[in-house]
């Protein structure tokens, strides 16, 4: 740990703790500020974030961050592989309510030294590999490789109270939980199956932000693994309300994929009562997973929250088996701290933009040919006004949002609804700004239930039938006052980000764009903050555009889908293959601008508007 860096962060922390929580400037800041060109180290996506309810100036964010991967030309110049054993769970800290962010540097298994040489001068002997450093610099979660694990992204974070001799108390301090997918490090087998859920924890965010990897505890495997299990799409929460009978409990929900189509795929919730050291799992949904069943072909995209009474709410999306893409938003609850769960309750019909559109456009995308996937656009995102940290002013109003494709391609909606504690759900409303095609959305509500917030990514251009035409991606932050009866006042737009062309983003195999599956928002009593996917700093590469167009036409002519990139395939050791006559990818660093692939995480912090 660099003592000078720690001193600077401590001084900043002490300084901002003296500021009123409303001393925010609003705006638009780069959160993933440690990344550098070229691709793939400049690629970040799928952001998450959390705010410390007991210190509301303190926030953490995370993303799938490829800062530590090898460069495209470390081997063959037209390959940009995921480097085996290198983690991608990035972490960023703010101590001034989101106005400024820092990305720490730890040590671990790193491929930052694998830069190669354009033109193939290193092929052979290192044609398709590099030699990562065992104790190199990393901008991702520490203590994974030395424990036989790889942090694989899908970040989710939550703050809760720290346990002590007399149980959980805010007087003990705050504990940060960071949940991530995890795989076995090459040559090790710490768990069975292909992908697990792991949780990292720290009780000292100041030290963690100042490069002290020893501020983090050893990661704990949460999922109960077996040889066929691929755990995925996790979310985490800690009961952060002092008056709750289950104060301090931590909960992780995730989808348990137990094989391919037609096999078991239930939703699981794991509960910890000891600060994350141990976890007990419960299945909370049906396990059937086939297109002929009333349960459709699966469920995913869960969100978990607690109210001031300690009731646990888990929302998830149930994919449909009838009309294409027609599924449902589902809810299960626990009233005893995760020991028992209610039967799944169907809340609303929701149409996912992936399966509704795929028959007409051939791939689960919205912006155009070879575009960014939209598999989980309808996943529910939720927040509850639970009055944290004390619960004294809780209203327990619930807010819920998702992106819906019910009106067809180019008419995607951002849906928003709310439920007062003792009232019914309001009818979901379309709340996007006209012309915005919602991509992913997230809500937040102030702990006292007076202010509702919404962030979403959106495309502002229609579906593009070729890769040669520009596309536009933006982010939007909105605010609405909450009335005394729980209804919402009119929405006000707080921010619209500068546009970026998502064609500049990329899967690591170059065959399509990649922006991930999430945006995120949090709220305090005086401000809210959000993080989103952003492509404004990315460089569009005409050679890659042509390659993607050629792949699309090849697939149409031959009926052979080439270029799909699957996290599950990678985890299961299934290497992508292509026929010999399939199009060949370009040499990225020779034919593309240096900032090709640069997708970022941006964010903003917005003070509550005057009534």
Task: Work out the average pLDDT over 102-118.
Answer: 92
- Provide the 3-class DSSP secondary structure of residue 331: strand
Distance CA 507, CA 597 (A): 8
Lowest mean pLDDT among 68-72, 436-440, 541-545, 562-566: 562-566
User: Closest by alpha carbon to 415, among 454, 371, 463?
Assistant: 454
Lowest mean pLDDT among 151-155, 226-230, 310-314: 226-230
Task: Work out the average pLDDT over 30-50.
Answer: 95
Lowest mean pLDDT among 37-41, 119-123, 292-296, 463-467: 292-296
* Residue labelled with tokens 């709310």: 418
The residues, ordered by sequence, that sit 6+ positions from 65 with a Cβ below 8 Å of its Cβ are 32, 34, 35, 43, 44, 88, 89, 90, 139, 140, 153
Q: What is the pLDDT of residue 358?
A: 57
User: Closest by alpha carbon to 258, among 211, 192, 306?
Assistant: 192
Q: What is the pLDDT of residue 356?
A: 67
Distance CA 425, CA 255 (A): 26
Structure tokens at 413: 């909606």
User: Closest by alpha carbon to 91, among 55, 59, 52, 132?
Assistant: 59
Backbone angles phi, psi at 276, to 5 degrees: 95, 5
pTM for the full model? 0.93
Q: What is the pLDDT of residue 569?
A: 61
Q: What would the pLDDT profile of 158-174 be if each residue is shown by its tens digit? A: 999 999 999 999 999 99
Q: What is the pLDDT of residue 353?
A: 83
Backbone angles phi, psi at 504, to 5 degrees: -75, -15
Q: What would the pLDDT profile of 430-445 be if each residue is shown by its tens digit? A: 999 999 999 999 999 9
- Would you list the DSSP string of 148-198? TEEE----EEEEEEEEETTEEEEEEEEEEEEEEEEEEPTT--SSSSSBEEE
Structure tokens at 149: 């694990």
Instruction: Check whether 87 has a pLDDT greater than 60.
Output: yes
Q: What is the pLDDT of residue 49?
A: 98
User: Closest by alpha carbon to 71, among 38, 98, 102?
Assistant: 38
Angle among Cα 73, 79, 81 to the nearest 5 degrees reads: 100
Domains along the sequence of the chain with CATH? 3-28+40-73+85-607 (2.120.10.10)
Q: What is the pLDDT of residue 291?
A: 52
Question: pLDDT category, 364, cuts 50, 70, 90?
Answer: confident
Cβ-contact 564, 362 below 8 angstroms: no
Mean pLDDT of the chain: 90
Structure tokens at 517: 């599956």
Q: What is the pLDDT of residue 12?
A: 44
Task: Work out the average pLDDT over 351-359.
Answer: 71
Distance CA 406, CA 417 (A): 16
Question: pLDDT category, 357, cuts 50, 70, 90?
Answer: low
Backbone angles phi, psi at 64, to 5 degrees: -75, 110
Distance CA 231, CA 48 (A): 18
Structure tokens at 322: 């009838």
Task: Work out the average pLDDT over 207-223.
Answer: 98
Give CA 35 to chain center in angstroms.
17
Q: What would the pLDDT profile of 262-316 be if each residue is shown by its tens digit? A: 567 899 999 999 999 999 999 999 887 655 444 456 888 999 999 999 999 999 9
Instruction: Check whether 576 has a pLDDT greater than 70.
Output: no
Cβ-contact 181, 154 below 8 angstroms: yes
Phi-psi region of 248 (alpha: psi -120 to 50; beta: other; left: phi over 0): left
Task: Work out the average pLDDT over 493-518.
Answer: 96
Going from the C-alpha of 349 to that of each of 60, 284, 326, 406, 547, the distances in angstroms are: 33, 20, 7, 9, 38
Q: What is the pLDDT of residue 313?
A: 98
Task: Work out the average pLDDT over 204-222.
Answer: 98
Lowest mean pLDDT among 69-73, 578-582, 599-603: 578-582
Q: What is the pLDDT of residue 363?
A: 62
């Amino acid at each position: 740990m660099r003592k000078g860096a720690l001193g600077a962060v401590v001084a900043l922390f002490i300084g901002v703790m003296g500021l009123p929580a409303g001393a925010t400037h609003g705006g638009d800041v780069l959160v993933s500020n440690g990344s550098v060109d070229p691709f793939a180290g400049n690629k970040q996506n799928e952001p998450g974030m959390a705010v410390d309810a007991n210190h509301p100036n303190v926030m953490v964010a995370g993303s799938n961050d490829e800062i530590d991967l090898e460069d495209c030309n470390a081997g063959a110049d037209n390959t940009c592989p995921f480097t085996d054993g290198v983690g991608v769970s990035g972490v960023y800290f703010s101590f001034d309510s989101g106005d400024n962010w820092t990305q720490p540097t730890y040590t671990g298994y790193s491929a930052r030294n694998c830069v190669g040489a354009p033109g193939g001068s290193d092929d052979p002997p290192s044609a398709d590999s590099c030699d990562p450093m065992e104790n190199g610099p990393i901008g991702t979660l520490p203590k994974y490789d030395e424990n036989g694990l790889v942090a694989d992204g899908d970040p989710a974070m939550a703050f809760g109270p720290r346990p002590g001799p007399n149980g959980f108390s805010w007087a003990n301090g705050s504990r940060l939980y960071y949940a991530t997918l995890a795989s076995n490090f090459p040559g090790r087998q710490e768990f069975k199956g292909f992908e697990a859920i792991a949780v990292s924890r720290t009780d000292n965010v100041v030290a963690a932000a100042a490069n002290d990897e020893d501020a983090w505890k050893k990661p704990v495997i949460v999922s109960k693994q077996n040889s066929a299990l691929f755990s995925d799409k996790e979310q985490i929460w800690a009961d952060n309300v002092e008056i709750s009978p289950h104060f301090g409990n931590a909960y992780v929900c995730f989808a348990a994929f137990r094989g391919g189509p037609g096999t078991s795929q239930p939703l699981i919730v794991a509960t910890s009562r000891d600060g994350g050291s141990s976890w007990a799992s419960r299945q909370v949904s049906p396990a059937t997973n086939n297109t002929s069943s009333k349960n459709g072909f699966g469920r995913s995209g869960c969100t978990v929250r607690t109210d001031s009474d300690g009731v646990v709410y888990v929302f998830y999306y149930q994919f449909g088996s009838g009309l294409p893409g027609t599924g449902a938003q589902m809810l299960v609850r626990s009233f005893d701290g995760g020991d028992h769960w209610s039967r799944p309750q169907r809340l609303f019909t929701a149409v996912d933009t992936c399966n509704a559109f795929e028959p007409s456009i051939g791939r689960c995308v919205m912006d155009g040919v070879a575009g960014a996937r939209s598999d989980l656009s309808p996943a529910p995102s939720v927040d509850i006004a639970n009055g944290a940290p004390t619960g004294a002013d809780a209203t327990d109003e619930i807010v819920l949002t998702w992106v819906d494709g019910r009106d067809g391609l180019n008419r995607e909606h951002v849906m928003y609804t709310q439920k007062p504690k003792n009232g019914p759900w309001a009818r979901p409303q379309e709340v996007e700004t006209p012309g915005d095609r919602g991509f992913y959305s997230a809500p937040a509500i102030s702990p006292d239930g007076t202010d509702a917030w919404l962030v979403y990514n959106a495309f502002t251009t229609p579906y593009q039938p070729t890769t040669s035409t520009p596309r536009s991606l933006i982010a939007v932050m909105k605010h609405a006052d909450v009335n005394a009866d729980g209804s919402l006042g009119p929405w006000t737009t707080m921010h619209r980000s500068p546009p970026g062309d998502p064609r500049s983003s990329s899967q690591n195999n170059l065959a399509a764009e990649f922006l991930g599956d999430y945006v995120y928002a949090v709220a305090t009593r005086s401000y809210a903050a959000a993080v989103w996917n952003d492509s404004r700093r990315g460089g569009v590469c005409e050679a890659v555009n042509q390659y993607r167009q050629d792949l699309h036409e090849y697939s149409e002519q031959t009926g052979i889908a080439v270029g799909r990139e699957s996290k599950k395939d990678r985890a299961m050791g299934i290497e992508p293959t292509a026929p010999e006559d399939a199009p060949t990818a370009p040499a990225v660093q020779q034919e593309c601008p240096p900032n090709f692939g640069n997708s970022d995480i941006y964010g903003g912090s917005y003070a509550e508007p005057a009534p």
